[in-house]
Each structure stands twice: as C-alpha cells, then as structure tokens.
Amino acid sequence: DIQMTQSPSSMSASLGDTVTINCLASQDIGNYLSWYQQKPGKSPKLMIYGATNLEDGVPSRFSGSRSGSDYSLTINSLGYDDEGIYHCHQYYEYPFTFGSGTKLEIK
Amino acid sequence: EVKLQQSGDELVRPGASVKMSCKASGYTFTDYAMHWVKQSPGQGLEWIGTIIPLIDTTSYNQKFKGKATLTADKSSNTAYMELSRLTSEDSAVYYCARAPIRYGGYPDYFDYWGQGVMVTVSS
C-alpha cells in the first residue's frame, strides 16, 4: 500500500499568516493527490485535486504544489474559517490512502 | 445541486450486521463511482472500497474484505454498504463519497461527500 506521511500533525497560526502542510508519498503517485478540509462534526470538503487544481468555489488563498513525491497545501492570509483538519489523499492506485491529518488552529 | 443523502445513525449489537444507504441526486448516478470511507473516533480517514454502478464493479481495501459489501441500485440512484459481524472496532462514522471516473475506468478524487452515518456497536 502507498503510505502518505503527513506533517505536521497539528499547528497553530495567527490571522493573516501563511501556512504549509506537507504530504510525502512512499512511491510515485504522479499528480493523483487531493486535499480535503474537515470541520468538527462535518464531512470532508474537497479543496485541491490533481495536486495543484483548485476546486470550484475554493478561495484562491489555497494552493497546492508538488516537488517529486512531496506534496504541499499552502494557505495564504489565514482566516478563522480556515480552522479545521486537513487530509491529503492519493488516488493513484488501490487501496486509496490518506495522510493522518493536520489539525490547524487559528490563534 | 449534487447531494448524497445517507441513512440515519445506527446502534447495533456486537456480532450483528448493519446496512446503510447513500441516495444520490442532482447528477447522473451511473456517470460516477461511489466510494465508502471510515473515520474512527478522533482518527483519520480509511478507504473501504468503491463501486462503479454503470458496470456494477467493486473494489475493496483488503482490510475490509469480508467486512464490507458494496452494492448499488441504479433504479433508485442509491448505493449501499453492509457491514457484517460487527465489533467495537467497527464503531465509527462512515461516509459515502462520489468520484469522477477517469479515462480507463479508474475512479478519481472524492468531489462530494455524504453527511456520514455514525455506527455504534454496543451491547
């Protein structure tokens, strides 16, 4: 199975900050990587797909990038609404796997 | 508007089975795959499996083979997941999630999710 190593597991940042969350794939997954935001008691919401493509309706403050097997989600100009857990997900091959999640708190 | 409406929360006895549903609306049911994902309390996400309703093909995470059975009813645009021989390890929230199908018939990322079904296994 492809392992997705996500870091950090939690982080705290201030309003207006820029933060980056990372996922390292254990093998090549091409650009078959997506990012989801999950708020407490809610289902995950698609933010980025194809490693770098912004889902419709997602603010342009969110962006995804790739460097080899390292994938990143960057959020600029943090707002309170960005608080939640972020999950990366590879859909290159079965079994699909997720990172362990990053809990983002806004100070 | 795309919507995935899941059935209600369940309280079940150890050893029993539970079948949950995911009714799709707002799109052509057979144009997409349907995935199922488990989220244990305070934990991350685990992919259970997927069904492609158009060709009635399923793929399972090896970990859930024998535990989960995925089906779909094209006439009612509803996907189902049955979990058998339940134990406390099966207590979790279960989500259905829609996925586009890429060229070659492989499902893609999850673009819409249901609201989740909380399954509690307790005597």
**Tens-of-pLDDT digits for all 123 residues of chain B?**
999 999 999 999 999 999 999 999 999 999 999 999 999 988 899 999 999 999 999 999 999 999 999 999 999 999 999 999 999 999 999 999 999 998 777 889 999 999 999 999 999
What residue in A sits closest to B6 (Cα-Cα)? Answer: A43
Question: For position A55, what pLDDT does the model report?
Answer: 97
Question: For position B41, what pLDDT does the model report?
Answer: 86
Residue B32 CA to residue B74 CA, distance in Å, equals 12
Q: Which of B103, B45, B51, B42 is nearest to B82 (CA)?
A: B51
Half-sphere exposure of A65 (CA within 13 A, CB side): 9
What number is the average pLDDT over the span A9-31?
97
Please judge whether A98 and B113 are an interchain contact, meaning their C-beta atoms are less than 8 angstroms apart: no
Question: For position B107, what pLDDT does the model report?
Answer: 84
Question: For position B99, what pLDDT does the model report?
Answer: 96
**Three-class SS of residue B99?**
strand
Strands B78-83 and B68-73: antiparallel
Residues on chain B touching A2 (C-beta within 8 angstroms): none
Please judge whether A95 and B61 are an interchain contact, meaning their C-beta atoms are less than 8 angstroms apart: yes
Residue A26 CA to residue A68 CA, distance in Å, equals 11
Question: For position B105, what pLDDT does the model report?
Answer: 78
- Would an 8 Å CB–CB cutoff place A46 in contact with chain B? yes
- Would an 8 Å CB–CB cutoff place B48 in contact with chain A? no
- Number of helices followed by number of strands (H, E) in chain A: 0, 11
DSSP character for B90?
A: G
Mutate to test the interface with B, among A34, A91, A92 (most CBs of B within 10 A): A91
- Would an 8 Å CB–CB cutoff place A43 in contact with chain B? yes
Contact A24, A5 (CB under 8 A): yes
Q: Which amino acid would we find at residue B76?
A: S
Mutate to test the interface with A, among B1, B22, B47 (most CBs of A within 10 A): B47
Contact A91, A34 (CB under 8 A): yes
Retrieve residue B36's tokens: 């199922």
- A97: Cα separation from own chain's centroid: 13
A99 confidence band (pLDDT: 50, 70, 90): very high
The predicted-structure confidence for A37-96, as pLDDT tens digits, reads as follows 999 999 999 999 999 999 999 999 999 999 999 999 999 999 999 999 999 999 999 999
Selecting from B62, B95, B109 the residue whose C-beta is nearest the C-beta of A46 gives: B109
CA A60 to each of CA A98, B21, B28, B73: distance values in angstroms, whole numbers, following the listed order: 24, 35, 29, 38
- Would an 8 Å CB–CB cutoff place B92 in contact with chain A? no
- Number of helices followed by number of strands (H, E) in chain B: 0, 11
